[in-house]
Structure 1
Amino acid sequence: MKKKVVVAIMAASLMMAGCGSLAGRHNIDSGFAYIESHDYNSALESFAAAEAKEEDECLIHRGRGIIYLETGRYEEAAEELLASLAADEGIVDDMDFDTNFYLAEAYYRLGEYNKAKEVYDAILGLRSRDSDAYYLRGVCELASGNHDAAYSDFSKAISLNSKDYSKIILIYKSLAEYGYDEEARNILQTALDNGSSFMSNYEKGQMSYYLGNNADAQNYLEAARNERDQEKEPVVLLLGQTGEKQGDYNYAMSVYKTYLAENPASAVVYNQLGMCQIKQGDYNGAISSFESGIAVDDKGVNQSLRLNEITAYEYLGEFAMAKSLMETYLADYPDDDKALRENIFLSTR
């Protein structure tokens, strides 16, 4: 199974209408709030309290299923999501479709592609114009070795929403991951050719970046960085990566530092800056960047920041500090196989 293929969790708004009464679900509400902040241990505690208080069974199973999916416990995720669907006795609504998307991803992550496709088939049986379901079913077809069926689904997804450039890029990545590079590039080039008159500079920059046209990508992204209404963080991250891609880490670091000077609460940019500093041999600078990112306390990025900080200490030769940080890291993330392997190395130092 190709783990690099991007399978986004679709429609993950964490909405909670449709599974029983709105009354008496204080702990459930807390649980979903914790999920949004990536505090999964607290979320599980809230759902346990909800179960003890006999709050909505459908939502409790749904919440646990999402947590297990996010933390790599895919078999448990599938079990909980199936239980959520079984507990929902109302009419089929948006939440049921949303839960089915989660369920299909759990099956995909388990390598059970046929089961995942069956879920997408069921979704499309009721929502025949759901471009997300076509795209995701296509990913499953690719993983199953069914290129033609995958390409058909991808083409249908694009035809339903030809201006969804984020999805077109995901389709490009999926095809490229499985070795269909020319086909993947043709899809991007067609989208760029057909949409250049109304694409934003950021969208043109994305397309150019993945097509390998770094000069064009930088020009478009630099323009996007200066646009008042454009969200800056994704632009900055991709602009910096145009430099990294060419080995120009000084340019990339300049882009990241300029952004951080005005937006110091961006953990993901601190993380990217630190990785550049490691590649430049500036391990102390990298540690400082990772520590600054950790201080932001973005739970969606903290795990990566903490592991990268350990790596920087290793490069610096400060193995005692690396061991200490690894001990606390594994206490929080005991299922991280990469960290467990790295801990074996550290134990010999």
Structure 2
Amino acid sequence: MKNRKIAVFLAVCLGIVSFSGCSSDMKNYRQASSDLEAEKYDEALQEFETAIAAGVNPAGSYRGAGVANVHLGNYKEAIENFTDALNCKKVGKSLKKDILSYRAAAYLKIKAYDEAMADCQSIAADYDMDADVYFLTGEVALAMDSYEEASTDFEQAYGEEATYDMAIRIYSAYLEKDMEADGTRYLEAALAKTADNAQDHCDRGRVYYYMSDYDNAQKELQEAADDGNTEAVLLQGMVYMEQKDTASARKKFEEYVSQAEDSARGFNGLALCDIEDGDYDSALSNISSALTFAEGEELKSLLFNEMTVYEKKLDFATAKQKAEEYLELYPDDKTMKKELAFLKTRVTGQNENSGAETTAGDTAADSSTADNTNTNSSEEQ
């Protein structure tokens, strides 16, 4: 199978396979593009792979498959897709920049920092820099502990695009490095602007949420929600969760589920309420409902939470199984690796002391659940 894929790739890039294709092949490509835009990443990936095999728009098809794999959390596969796209004969200049940006971001996800920076430098050498590329370069520099370079790149990014979203992205990058103060100034700068519409109020509420100013967060989010912004409703639930008010949070997550087309994040929020309240069977039910829709980072969060629930139920054998399944999908997750090591000791202990009472007061999941849950995950296509 691997050799067959290599042969198809070589044929495509050398022009042996006709680019014209039949109408059904082009239909696959158009459907893949439509699925990608609609965030149906599994379907998009399958359709792009069909287009690749048929030799339809090779660079675009490999790029599309790579983007779908990024959203699905398959970063190594995405890097292979992007590299294949770059190796194709006809790759337009703007498309090459786009592919290099995606590949750099994927390299960053797997902590291949030198490779990520090399792609960023290639973009800087051959193209005009924009806000997204400045931010990506700063993010890579920060990961490499090049703090001055990162600061310069982030300032350039915010200078090019002084939006709430960019401020949050920069803040989040600094937060990952325990440099919250460096990122907070961008949040403060964003709040200096005036809200003009519901989305602005929602974004301002998110900024206040990150700053732990929950009163102002709720005020802004309520204005956005009153104007029909469903994202604001989800964020309200998250704010209530931070305040340990699960009853109010539950109402907001239920409201979001009833309104949103993609309700996975709402069900995930309900599962968090259940976990906080100790209703683990209900948590598993809500996680099961969410898994019907979830992809990408949201899927990762849900699968982590599923393992956590089984651990809290003292079902260590099932928790261990879920941890192993999780690591098959996300092998680089250090937190889950620690969980699995812990669970192995519990399962071994239960096997050696069958029937003995076991407590879970010191489980690692107790302290890591919130950090590994994200009811607001999103990545730009």
TM over 0.5, shorter chain: yes
Amino acid of the residue matched to residue 43 of structure 1?
Answer: L
Match of residue 241 from structure 2: 244
The answer on whether the counterparts of 1:81 and 1:103 sit within 8 Å (CA) in structure 2 is yes
Q: 1:221: how far off?
A: 0.8
Match of residue 45 from structure 2: 43
Distance 2:285 2:329 in 1: 27
Match of residue 223 from structure 2: 223
**Distance of aligned partners of 1:333 and 1:57 in 2 relative to their CA distance in 1, 3 Å threshold:** farther
Q: 1:29: how far off?
A: 4.6
Q: Which runs of 5+ in 2 are unaligned?
A: 1-17, 351-381
Amino acid of the residue matched to residue 158 of structure 2?
Answer: I
The answer on whether the counterparts of 1:124 and 1:130 sit within 8 Å (CA) in structure 2 is no
Distance 1:190 1:51 in 2: 45
Counterpart selection for 2:257 from 253, 257, 260? 260
Match of residue 176 from structure 1: 175
Q: Which runs of 5+ in 1 are unaligned?
A: 1-19
Q: 1:243: how far off?
A: 1.3
| Deviations 1:127-179 (CA, angstroms, capped at 9, x unpaired) | 424100000100011111111111111111111121x2111101011112223
Distance 1:263 1:346 in 2: 40
Corresponding position: 1:297 with 2:299? no
The answer on whether the counterparts of 2:123 and 2:129 sit within 8 Å (CA) in structure 1 is no
| Deviations 1:303-339 (CA, angstroms, capped at 9, x unpaired) | 544553454344345678x479849x93x97334438
Q: Where do residues 142-161 of structure 1 align in structure 2 (5 Å cutoff)? A: 142-161=142-161
Distance 2:120 2:151 in 1: 16
Query: Alignment partner of 1:39: what SS?
Result: helix
Query: Alignment partner of 1:111: what SS?
Result: coil
Distance 2:319 2:110 in 1: 32
- Percent identity, aligned pairs only? 25
Corresponding position: 1:165 with 2:161? no
Query: Alignment partner of 1:212: what SS?
Result: coil
Distance 2:179 2:147 in 1: 9
**Distance of aligned partners of 1:243 and 1:150 in 2 relative to their CA distance in 1, 3 Å threshold:** same
| Deviations 1:201-226 (CA, angstroms, capped at 9, x unpaired) | 11221221112211111111112111
Counterpart selection for 2:328 from 326, 334, 341? 334
Distance 1:67 1:205 in 2: 30
Q: 1:266: how far off?
A: 0.9
Distance 1:75 1:302 in 2: 18
Match of residue 121 from structure 1: 121
Distance 2:188 2:171 in 1: 10
Amino acid of the residue matched to residue 169 of structure 1?
Answer: I
Equivalenced residues, count: 318
Distance 1:259 1:58 in 2: 39
Amino acid of the residue matched to residue 172 of structure 1?
Answer: Y
**Distance of aligned partners of 1:276 and 1:146 in 2 relative to their CA distance in 1, 3 Å threshold:** same
Distance 1:283 1:118 in 2: 46
Q: 1:197: how far off?
A: 5.2
The answer on whether the counterparts of 1:158 and 1:168 sit within 8 Å (CA) in structure 2 is yes
Amino acid of the residue matched to residue 41 of structure 2?
Answer: H
Distance 1:203 1:292 in 2: 28
**Distance of aligned partners of 1:288 and 1:325 in 2 relative to their CA distance in 1, 3 Å threshold:** farther
| Deviations 1:6-47 (CA, angstroms, capped at 9, x unpaired) | xxxxxxxxxxxxxx956543454555566642327x835862
Corresponding position: 1:196 with 2:159? no
Amino acid of the residue matched to residue 104 of structure 1?
Answer: A
**Distance of aligned partners of 1:87 and 1:213 in 2 relative to their CA distance in 1, 3 Å threshold:** same
| Deviations 1:78-134 (CA, angstroms, capped at 9, x unpaired) | 3432221121425413x2222111111232234332332232233234442410000
Distance 1:264 1:71 in 2: 19
Bigger mean CA offset, 213-222 vs 202-211: 202-211
Distance 1:303 1:91 in 2: 34
Query: Alignment partner of 1:288: what SS?
Result: helix
**Distance of aligned partners of 1:135 and 1:125 in 2 relative to their CA distance in 1, 3 Å threshold:** same
Distance 2:300 2:74 in 1: 17
With structure 2 as the length reference, what TM-score do the two structures score? 0.71
CA RMSD of aligned residues (A): 3.4
**Distance of aligned partners of 1:159 and 1:279 in 2 relative to their CA distance in 1, 3 Å threshold:** same
Q: 1:272: how far off?
A: 1.1
Match of residue 364 from structure 2: none
The answer on whether the counterparts of 2:320 and 2:340 sit within 8 Å (CA) in structure 1 is no
